[in-house]
Structure 1
Amino acid sequence: EWRPRRGAGRDREPGGYADPAGHPDLRAAVARYVAYARSVRTGADDVVVTNGAQQALDLVARVLLAPGDVVAVEEPGYPPAREAFAAHGARVVGVPVDGEGLVVSRLPRAARLVYVTPSHQFPLGVAMSPRRRLDLLAWAGAHDAAVVEDDYDSEYRFADRPLEPLHALDAGGRVVYVGTFSKTLLPGLRLGFAVVPPSLRSAVRAARRLADGHGPVATEAALARFMDEGLLARHIRRTAKVYARRRSALLAGLAGELAPYVETVPSAAGLHVCALLRSGDRAVADAVAARARAAGVAVETLAAYRAEPGGPAGLVLGYGAIEADEVPVGLTALAAAFRAVRPG
């Protein structure tokens, strides 16, 4: 169990301002962690600790974007990322996603930055194929664009071997790798990080200094110690078993009682599953989600993650905050919602 430890963080500049890039021990711990857990080869100097992944996106936008610049994002995709780039005056353009991930051939030629979730596309759940990863990096090189790789929950992988991250394949220093501890620990911790190319180190650190000075020194030091003592890795191993049971229960129900209504999008990782409606009717998805929520079952429609109307109808079901034995109960209520909306 993670908690700040007595004396943590008191050994560095107790009366002054801290490094805007984060506590040195945590930057070093993050560099070691992403190396063995995610195959991201980096050093502590390239790590900038942030107040969650959202601040990492904000800092990247501050450094790389000017008003009117084009940013390409996945459609459907992560709404807070779109909002972060739009807040800096960027023109955000959605790019379709298929079974191999972002469709590179549909990227706007003027894109200055491309934001992707290749390990576990949010919200569909597909992994970007190896070929598509190489295509994206080649496109970025040809168009002088940066790529933000948001690897928000790849620690929890339940099938297949992980694919190499874009950062590991990047030979041109174009990828900014973003991670968070919100999924592995808790959202209220508000700690994330960005692994930036050497060419952006100074600019991103300066942007962090202007944004809020620095992060919580004692909390960052405590997390560094938590990681160095192997407690984060142990926590992930333990919670992965818990989430695997929940995931199995969810997939079994979707393939059973709910099979007449939905088809699950194949996914090997993460803490949510996307299910497409066989009817393709978005009005039905809206009505079912509303009935389910009224019955105490939290589901979101796939449309909630789109900036533009259209696309297949679907539901997004998370299992990070529900016990395994409660999953069948929730799915039974969801099936009842389908029957009520589409009787017979």
Structure 2
Amino acid sequence: MELHIVIQGRKDLANQLYEQLRDNIESGRLAAGVQLPPSRLLAAQLGLSRKTISDTYSRLTYENYLVGKIGSGTFVNALNAPTQRRQTTSQLASATRISKWQDISLPLRHPTLEGTLRCDFIGGATAKTQFPHDEWRRCTQYALRQMTQARGFYSQPEGLPALRSAIAGHIAFARGVKCTADDIVVCNGAQQALDLIARVLIEPGCTVAMEDPGYTPARQLFAAQGAEVVSVPVDSEGIVVEQIPENTHAIYVTPSHQMPLGMPMSLARREALLHKASRIGAIIIEDDYDSEFRYEGRPTDSLQSMDQFGVVAYVGTFSKTLLPELRLGYAVLPEAIREAVIKAKQLTDWHTSTLPQWALTKFISEGLLNKHIRRCHSIYAGRRDRILARFAGDLSPWMEAIPSTAGFHMAVMFKVPINVPLLVELARKVEIGLYPLTGFFTDAAPRDGLILGFGAVETLDIDPALDRLRDVLTQIA
């Protein structure tokens, strides 16, 4: 390993080495368990005698900073924790601002691997058993070959031209989006796309209108950027356009699969929303997060496909069709904000990693994405049907499902009073993850229910899990 030690002059050599090694250990720069270079090697690197190195190691070992292992070498002792040298938040000039970020609650944060339950009805997640690992591995190998041919420069902030062209073709076919490759910016997931659009549209005091109930991380993001987030109610046709304030700068909606209730926005409501946004000068942020999976009724195109005014910024993601860990999303931007968003992208992270970009380009161009979506559609449709059958059957005394026509989550509402926190707690004890709807409501009166994601639940686990849910409901009712 490379060890940063600077020896000055020819005096007190052993003590210089001792103090620097000790300080590195105490500060944590040399972490517990790190192996130090052999005395002969370090002596040659520093121009010191081997005896000086050995004596210093012995002294640090005696003081419990180091530990010697016969046949292995000398290591930093795990018992010696680094000294904490830090200011508290209250001592910083930005204490108020920091506290606002620290106080943000993250109710939709996904569990760690250690915290994963046997059957987790969390929304927005997929099962890795469906992912085409072999095909993706081959596409990644292609990506590595492409990267070896590059000159070592940073890539374009808007994303690789080949990927943007592939995305444009895919979403035109799958969602009716009208765009060219030049309209697309590749992002690290849809959340970054929302962040970039917000950066160029919002400053402290600006008004953002969004659905209530709605997607909580989007609301938190806009509020963190200083926006005044106005809650607009939704009904069976979607957002109530008449209640969007006249001074609104941005309008966030999920028109194809309302988050979290699941209904699509009606055609009349879409037209009214587009006209109002054009009249007041607002940008509509259309989050089309999982609408490639549709189960009944006529397919509905994106809101962006109806846009005659250039006011819709369309946000999509591959986290729902592939894997959340890939962190690949995109934004299709109207001309009025496109250049500004590209510059915001470059200033925040320069560009998304080119390795997954090249892999996804290959994956789409070979038809593997559409093939994967068709396979998953069949799986999700079966899971959805099974869940709806159970809520129309033995679970019907307690709950009623709202059958969404797209995506892989649905809302279920309680028909009788239920202690929801207790239900969630008892369900976790029998290895079932449940998530209340209340966290999606802000100003609207919350409705007692659950958001039931079935993307990460194996089909064969659904009935046993719902059996346990029925038993828990029987117990607490």
Name the TM tier (shorter chain).
over 0.9
Match of 1:64 in 2: 201
Q: 1:186 aligns with which of 302, 323, 327?
A: 323
Counterpart Cα distance in 1 of 2:149 and 2:163: 13
Q: Does 1:316 align with 2:471?
A: no
Q: 2:421 aligns with which of 269, 286, 303?
A: 286
Match of 2:141 in 1: 5
Counterpart Cα distance in 1 of 2:242 and 2:476: 38
Match of 1:206 in 2: 343
Alpha-carbon deviation of 1:130?
0.7
Q: 1:117 aligns with which of 249, 254, 269?
A: 254
Whether the 8 Å contact between 1:141 and 1:172 is mirrored in structure 2 is yes
Whether the 8 Å contact between 1:130 and 1:163 is mirrored in structure 2 is no
State the AA in 2 paired with 1:323: E
State the AA in 2 paired with 1:77: G
Match of 1:235 in 2: 372
Q: 2:216 aligns with which of 64, 76, 79?
A: 79
Whether the 8 Å contact between 1:94 and 1:307 is mirrored in structure 2 is yes
2:270 partner SS: helix
Q: Does 1:37 align with 2:138?
A: no
Gaps of 5+ in 1: none
State the AA in 1 paired with 2:141: R
1:208 partner SS: helix
State the AA in 2 paired with 1:45: D
Alpha-carbon deviation of 1:273?
1.1
| Matched ranges for 1:272-283 at <5 A | 272-279=409-416, 281=417
Counterpart Cα distance in 1 of 2:145 and 2:370: 20
| Matched ranges for 1:1-344 at <5 A | 1=132, 2-3=136-137, 4-6=140-142, 7-10=144-147, 13-279=150-416, 281=417, 284-308=419-443, 310-342=445-477
Whether the 8 Å contact between 2:233 and 2:444 is mirrored in structure 1 is no
Whether the 8 Å contact between 1:39 and 1:168 is mirrored in structure 2 is yes
Alpha-carbon deviation of 1:13?
3.8
2:433 partner SS: coil
Whether the 8 Å contact between 1:257 and 1:332 is mirrored in structure 2 is no
Residues 118 and 288 of structure 1: CA distance in aligned 2, closer, same or farther (over 3 Å):
same
State the AA in 1 paired with 2:210: V
Counterpart Cα distance in 2 of 1:140 and 1:199: 14
TM-score by length of 2: 0.69
Alpha-carbon deviation of 1:341?
2.0
Residues 8 and 67 of structure 1: CA distance in aligned 2, closer, same or farther (over 3 Å):
farther
Residues 9 and 122 of structure 1: CA distance in aligned 2, closer, same or farther (over 3 Å):
farther
Residues 123 and 214 of structure 1: CA distance in aligned 2, closer, same or farther (over 3 Å):
same
Whether the 8 Å contact between 2:388 and 2:403 is mirrored in structure 1 is no
2:141 partner SS: coil
Alpha-carbon deviation of 1:309?
6.7
Residues 142 and 182 of structure 1: CA distance in aligned 2, closer, same or farther (over 3 Å):
same
State the AA in 1 paired with 2:301: E
Counterpart Cα distance in 2 of 1:290 and 1:100: 34
State the AA in 1 paired with 2:449: G
2:158 partner SS: coil
Q: Structure 1, residues 161-205: CA drift from partner, whole Å, max 9, x if none?
A: 222311011111000000000000000000000000122221111
**Higher deviation after alignment, 100-109 or 73-82:** 100-109
State the AA in 1 paired with 2:476: V
**Higher deviation after alignment, 303-312 or 252-261:** 303-312
Residues 119 and 340 of structure 1: CA distance in aligned 2, closer, same or farther (over 3 Å):
same
Residues 130 and 159 of structure 1: CA distance in aligned 2, closer, same or farther (over 3 Å):
same
The structure whose Rg is larger is 2
Alpha-carbon deviation of 1:11?
6.7
Alpha-carbon deviation of 1:33?
0.6
2:382 partner SS: helix
How many percent identity over aligned positions? 46
Counterpart Cα distance in 2 of 1:201 and 1:42: 12
Q: Structure 1, residues 264-317: CA drift from partner, whole Å, max 9, x if none?
A: 1131111111011113x4x62332222222221111111021234723211111
- Deviating runs (4+, > 6 A) in structure 1? none
Whether the 8 Å contact between 1:51 and 1:191 is mirrored in structure 2 is yes
Gaps of 5+ in 2: 1-131
1:249 partner SS: helix
RMSD: 1.4
Counterpart Cα distance in 2 of 1:59 and 1:337: 44
Whether the 8 Å contact between 2:319 and 2:325 is mirrored in structure 1 is yes
Whether the 8 Å contact between 1:8 and 1:221 is mirrored in structure 2 is no
TM-score by length of 1: 0.95
Q: Structure 1, residues 68-125: CA drift from partner, whole Å, max 9, x if none?
A: 1011111111111111111211111221111111111222222211100111111111
Alpha-carbon deviation of 1:8?
4.5
